[in-house]
Structure 1
C-alpha cells in the first residue's frame, strides 16, 4: 500500500506563501506537515525569499529615484 499522496509544487508554493504571510489554520498546517515534500518546501522558500528581496529592492529604488 502506498502512503498519503504528496502535494505538488503548486500546493507547496501556496503553503510557503501563507507561511511568509503568517496566516495558517491549524488543520491546514497539519495537512501540510503530512503531505508536503521537504525538498519542494526548501525550493519554494528560496524562491519566496528571492521574490521578497526583489520586491524590496524595487521599492527602495523607486523611493530613492524620486
Structure 2
C-alpha cells in the first residue's frame, strides 16, 4: 500500500497541484528512498513516452 501512496505522491508532485496538508502527510508517512525510486521510474517512463511520440510524429 505504501508503494501506491508513493506513486500517488510523485504523480501529484509531477503535475504540481497538491494541498500543503497532503504534502506534509506524505512527508510523514513515506520512505524517502521509495519516493525517489518511484520518481526515477516515472521520469524514465515520461521521457520514453516523449521520445516515442516524437518518433511517431516525425515519421
- Tell me the TM-score normalised to structure 1 length: 0.83
Runs of 4+ in 1 over 4 A off after TM superposition: none
Q: Does 1:46 align with 2:36?
A: no
Residues of 2 paired with 1:21 and 1:13: CA distance? 12
Offset of 1:33 from its aligned partner?
0.9
RMSD of the TM alignment (CA)? 1.1
Residues of 2 paired with 1:27 and 1:38: CA distance? 18
Aligned partner of residue 56 in structure 1, secondary structure? helix
- Which sections of structure 1, spanning at least 5 residues, go unmatched? 1-6
Aligned partner of residue 17 in structure 2, secondary structure? coil
- Tell me the TM-score normalised to structure 2 length: 0.92
- Which sections of structure 2, spanning at least 5 residues, go unmatched? none
